[in-house]
Chain A
């Protein structure tokens, strides 16, 4: 892909941001400078900005000649930039497009990345998303392992004595599903959920290792506790905020458009 050189000019990048501010001021009734106007005003503030920029890159203030050159460059870029916009050169250029999109998203989410929510905000978020935190049900159970399904059935029918040896815990106390899954795998954890918590041997149920019979003595919903979960809630809230801000900023814009899609 070849790019017109001007798309790499810093001032294009700068002025996109600048244009945002200009229009923002125009829109809020401030000092109006329309990027499509034929007037280019290089006021004191703008000149100071140019001088500062020079100083940042060169680590020294510009001389008078240099500031004049910077102003001339600014005017030149501004003229070409506006003409480029008039010609619609910003359109259909994947790089300009992607960069602007990314900047918009970044602008919308930046503040949320470091925002610190008040506790009531977090409590409200916690309340709204309670299901997300109360999903865990702890289970207390015993299990015996068998290499074959037939052996497991036989053990159930004849009254249990012992299973085949394997390095799996014979009993787990108030274990969270994640803990059970880490040790016994997904298939077993799902099957265990179907066994009534009545303290009686049941099964056989399958695992990645073979067959098991299990007796569940207790199953308790873990009551989510705000204090314990607060840091995680804050993380989740922050992530949700970032997504929400992007969504909202987009929504505001999106409402200004009518989209027609041929199917």
Chain B
């Protein structure tokens, strides 16, 4: 025994022989917004790929679920370095990302880690039985720890968190320390022109478990972001968050935006037609929201929020990533009924925005669209063949994860196969800096994909023609039209759209390109229509009364492979709205559909030799997609 202890002491001694520390020096270019640091292209010339929604061990839930990787590993992984995942496997992203927002929960930043590391006496002394029970569960086993966190999320949803976790004042010292360290780290990893590291956090308002979460993303480096702390979500309101953002911008001269997500789990609350208290929405409220939230996250691991078959019965491609998530709110403590769906899905919100704009003069829901992961593993993986799980309890080591019940708390209702592999955000920017990418978000020149990296371009205008493809069409797009996210003023002519969708260079071919139009008709009713505007093999695949002939399916269900024998490398068209009517208030966004490919569940089945449940198998092949930000058509003043 003595021998063992003296050996341990030796390690202690070895560890003590280390250099002294001081704060790391960072040059101004890296601690700022990156303006003036690199040469910029004349027009945005390629989409930059990123994840705006990644959790590390500083997130209360992620730590409890088991992640032991922090922000530094997350940054290294995103920029292409190999890291050791929490459960021990080596992980490296085949294609690095261009930018990353670390979005740890502002509530109780680092709290579970501190709780876990605390002596039990201190937890006992707090006199909170719940906290103590969670503490003990976290120490008992990974399974118990996950259960404890599920309880914690439910408690947060029901506003029953122990004071030690819920009270921001009691968290302040730790938050200041963690936030400061993170900002230094982000500056160290931010490399204008190569890799952009954004400061951010997740704000998690969740009344009765109805998800109203936002990711908050800063344009600035630590010189400005250090002047604030992440804003707590559990006991605040969205308006207070926007006030916090405005105050940040006014006091620092910086810029910040918020990105609502998982509206699919909000039970109708995310995109209401009224104020949160049910009174009529005011123009002031709408303007505040529009200014703070230019972009929405449409797809991620916890489902897809574009639209639902109930809302879009004539859209044959609706229903991607809704199974399981349409059942109820985040902790599944309240069921979702059909009347709530309109407030849950983004296409409907875009439509509601038109209607509100007509009444109020300002559109609160005029947002661009992005995808992200919401991974709680510190690993920003969005590809189907590389799914690391929503949290570390589900990293690849858990071979049965696709079949297992996965719901937080109850373990009923949702299964592993309901989870998506994640999505990514693409930003059309003139260069890879904080300023350029943030500004692309701000002007909505961004789009979402469910993981694949297809390049999608849309310009709206009135004088585009097919012959433009033979010339410098990008210049034409920018100089005589507007890119995605832009606005057109009614000219009395039908708007035209120059659309190009290029497949992921290392991914599946494209099936079709669609334009989704939403508008208010003459009688004031909200309408929507999905148009197939370009598709592969047009000679073979004819449009019939029932729509377009399906592209086919090359997926081998046994070994999770597919071939690119069908589909197209690029689809492009100049499309004119055939149903235009003068004075119409409308939006148009592009949806790009890939040929069918295996989902992560099928890769799991092939890799681990497991048999998927019947339901999981029926959902093991899907057509991945991209959603662009809309272009709005506004009536002349």
A residues adjacent to B (C-beta < 8 A) = 1, 3, 8-11, 13-14, 19-21, 23-24, 26-28, 34-36, 53, 56-58, 85-86, 94-95, 99, 104, 107-112, 114-117, 147, 165-169, 178, 181-188, 207-210, 231-232, 234-235, 239, 245, 248-250, 252-253, 256
Contacts and interface: CB of A to CB of B under 8 A. Distances in A.
Given A23-B5, A232-B191, A116 B21 contact: yes
Contact of A167 (B3, B12, B572): B572
Contacts of B119: 10-11, 13-14
A253 B12 contact: no
Interface stretch (B244-252, B345-353, B498-506): B498-506
B21 A115 contact: yes
B18 A245 contact: yes
Nearest to A114: B21
A111 B19 CA distance: 7
For chain B, give the interface size range. Answer: 35 or more
B588 to A, nearest CB: 20
A223 B502 CA distance: 33
Given A107-B15, A209-B569, A256 B7 contact: yes
A9 B415 CA distance: 37
Given A8-B120, A8-B139, A178 B96 contact: yes
Contacts of B2: 34, 36
A168 B502 CA distance: 9
Interface in B4-57: 5-15, 18-27, 30, 45-46, 49
A107 B188 contact: no
B385 interface: no
Top 8 nearest A-B pairs by Cβ distance? Answer: A185-B505, A10-B119, A111-B18, A57-B125, A10-B121, A209-B569, A114-B21, A23-B9
B15 A95 contact: no
A117 B12 CA distance: 22
Contacts of A166: 502, 569-570
Given A115-B18, A231-B30, A234-B188, A167 B120 contact: no
Contacts of A114: 21-24
B339 interface: no
Given A1-B140, A245-B18, A116 B11 contact: no
B19 A115 contact: yes
B242 to A, nearest CB: 34
B15 A110 contact: yes
A253 B8 contact: yes
A1 B507 contact: no
A108 B13 CA distance: 9
Given A165-B469, A166-B569, A183 B46 contact: yes
A208 B504 contact: yes
Given A14-B119, A182-B46, A253-B7, A167 B14 contact: no
A234 B469 CA distance: 47
Contacts of A252: 10-11, 14
Nearest to A54: B125
B76 interface: yes
Contacts of B122: 10, 56-57
A212 to B, nearest CB: 11
B85 to A, nearest CB: 15
A235 B189 contact: yes
29 contacts: A1-B140, A1-B141, A3-B140, A9-B120, A11-B121, A13-B120, A20-B9, A24-B12, A27-B9, A28-B13, A57-B125, A58-B125, A112-B18, A114-B23, A115-B18, A115-B20, A115-B21, A116-B22, A167-B455, A169-B45, A178-B80, A182-B95, A183-B46, A183-B505, A208-B506, A209-B503, A209-B505, A249-B11, A253-B11
Contacts of B139: 3, 8, 95, 99
A252 B189 CA distance: 32
A57 B121 contact: yes
B457 interface: yes
Contacts of A249: 11, 14-15
A208 B120 contact: no
Contact of B506 (A58, A186, A232): A186
A258 to B, nearest CB: 13
Contacts of B141: 1, 94-95
B151 interface: no
Nearest to B505: A185
Contacts of B469: 165
A231 B26 contact: yes
Given A57-B125, A167-B572, A111 B21 contact: yes
A208 B15 contact: no
Given A27-B13, A116-B21, 10 more contacts: A10-B119, A86-B1, A95-B139, A95-B141, A167-B502, A178-B80, A182-B453, A235-B72, A252-B11, A256-B3
A187 B506 contact: yes
A114 B13 CA distance: 19
Nearest to B27: A231
Contacts of B27: 231
Contacts of A232: 191
Nearest to B473: A167
A47 B22 CA distance: 33
B136 interface: yes
A118 B534 CA distance: 59
B380 to A, nearest CB: 16
A187 B30 CA distance: 34
Nearest to B120: A10
B11 A208 contact: no
B14 A108 contact: yes
Contacts of A58: 125
A11 B119 CA distance: 8
A10 to B, nearest CB: 3
A71 to B, nearest CB: 14
Interface in B516-573: 564, 569-570, 572
Contacts of A107: 11-12, 15
Interface in B118-145: 119-122, 124-126, 136, 139-141
